[in-house]
Amino acid sequence: MSIQYIFEIFGTVVFAISGIIAANKGAGQNWFGAVFVGLVTAIGGGSVRDILLDSYPLVWIEDINFIYAAFFGIIIMHFFYRPIMKYKNKFSLFDTLGIALFTVVGTEKALEFNVHWLIAAIMGMFTAVMGGVIRDTLSQELPVIFRKEVYATACLAGAFLYLILNHFEVERTWNFIISALFIIIIRILALKYHWSIPKYKTL
């Protein structure tokens, strides 16, 4: 089992958890709605990536384990909701883990299609953030990429680091781990010290 596969499965689990957390913020959210948001959050980013890369069948259609992983995350939230919710605001733990894991996975998969390195970085970012965009939209919240906080930029930074280390032929497993940790550290520091992206202003 490759490091890429492990990252993608684990990322699917934690994004499903983040989807359930977001769904439960909404008043009167029913059981089916919460599960739907969790599932879409888990598979949304990878689906967007695969469609843009013309990679068919989509990863979760080709491998049922991704659906199992999403439902595993949903089940975890059902049984461990209270202890998990104690930590949900502490550096947005599950969302941070999700974007870190999915960024490097998406970048790696894009490279397998021999795209330009810049496109590979963008695909890594899309894989990481699009599930969250869909999640926030379904939960009637402003998607996090449209807020001032450092989010998608952390993913891009991690994707660029992955590409640099890959260029210098750093061992693949270490590259995955280092790049993912880099994103996690940026995101944690950004949340702790309130780093933000300047507003867009026209001249």
Percent of the chain past pLDDT 70, that is, above it, reads: 94
Taking every pair of Cα atoms in the chain, the longest distance, rounded to a whole number of angstroms, is 53
Which of 145 and 178 is assigned the larger pLDDT? 178
Q: Beta-carbon neighbour count of residue 61 at 10 Å?
A: 13
Q: Taking the domains of the chain in order of start, what are their residue ranges?
A: 3-193
10 pLDDT higher than 70? yes
Residue 196 phi, psi dihedral angles, 5° rounding: -145, 160
pLDDT per position as a tens digit, 56-112: 999 999 999 999 999 999 999 888 888 877 765 644 777 888 999 999 999 999 999
Taking residues 14-30, report their average pLDDT. Answer: 77
Q: Is the pLDDT of residue 176 over 50?
A: yes
pTM of the model: 0.89
The percentage of the chain sitting over the pLDDT mark of 90, rounded to a whole number, equals 59
